[in-house]
Amino acid sequence: MPTPFLAAQTGRDKKNVLIADWHVKRVRVMKDALLAKFKQHPTLLGALIETGDAVIVEHTKNDSYWGDNGDGTGENMLGRLLMEVRLELKELLAVPTIPLPPWESFPSLSPVDLFWRMGLGESYLSRWVKAFYDASSNEQESYVLRYPEPNDWTGFYDE
């Protein structure tokens, strides 16, 4: 659906046939959606990580499955999934095997500066590229999440 509102409306329409075992599959779908959301939005990822080890509760009286039913008797599945996603992403972000990206190590230099074409800059980029591409795909994903490209470096991670 083009908007979340229309998706919710469509999902609540009893005329629509549900996917077989949707009551089981919906948890995986929601978790995948949450992972994608936080991986694509560093600001939201930071906010989730900043919750530390706090218990997350979807406090609403309108939902006893995704929320807590407003009185703590609900399953709080959204809160539980957010805590799972937070833990997975914390672990993913904790892999520091690659040197800092050039925009972190040399923040005052633009990507087109001659510095990168000779001497220290060229050596730095060569070491960085080797370390990045020698890393596992999980390490690379973690690194890109931790160090998103600034606008002037867009496309840096592309091969």
Is 45:51 a contact under the CB 8 Å cutoff?
no
| 139 and 95 Cβ atoms separated by less than 8 Å | yes
- Cα separation, 70 vs 8, in Å, equals 20
Query: What is the mean pLDDT for each group of 10 consecutive residues in the chain (159 residues)?
Result: 87 83 91 92 89 95 95 96 94 75 91 86 89 87 89 85
Number of residues in the chain: 159
pTM of the predicted model as reported, rounded to 2 decimal places: 0.61
Contacts 24+ apart (CB under 8 A), 53-62: 55/79, 55/83, 56/80, 56/82, 56/83, 56/86
